[in-house]
Amino acid sequence: MATSLGAKPAVVSDTTLPHAIEGEMTPAVRLIGRIITAGLLLAVAAGLWQGFSSHGLLNGLVNGLKASEVGFAMVLILLGSIVEGFGYGLSLGTKWPYTRNIVVLMVRGDPEAAHRVVATLVGLVALALVILAPTVTTISGLILIVVTALFGMGTLYVLAGRAPAFVHGTHGLLAYGVFLVYLTGLAYPGPNFWTYLGAMGALHALLLAVFLGGMTTGQRGFGTAIGAFVQPRKASQWTIAAHITAGLILVATLGYMMPAYPIAFYLAVGQFAVGFLLFHAVSLKPKDPGIMVAFHQSMVLLMALAIVLVWR
| CA distance linking residue 162 with residue 114, whole number of Å | 24
Tell me, what DSSP letter sits at residue 201?
H
| pLDDT over 60 (residue 152) | yes
Mean pLDDT of 149-157: 92
| pLDDT over 80 (residue 88) | yes
Q: Residue 184: its pLDDT value, please?
A: 93
Closest CA to 78 of 120, 32, 109: 32
Global pTM value: 0.89
| pLDDT over 60 (residue 312) | no
Angle at which helix 57-85 crosses helix 291-308, to 10 degrees, equals 150
| pLDDT over 80 (residue 91) | no
Contact in structure between 83 and 92 (CB atoms under 8 Å): no
Q: Residue 22: its pLDDT value, please?
A: 58
Q: Percentage helix, strand, coil, to 5, in the chain?
A: 70, 0, 30
| pLDDT over 50 (residue 8) | no
| CA distance linking residue 78 with residue 36, whole number of Å | 8
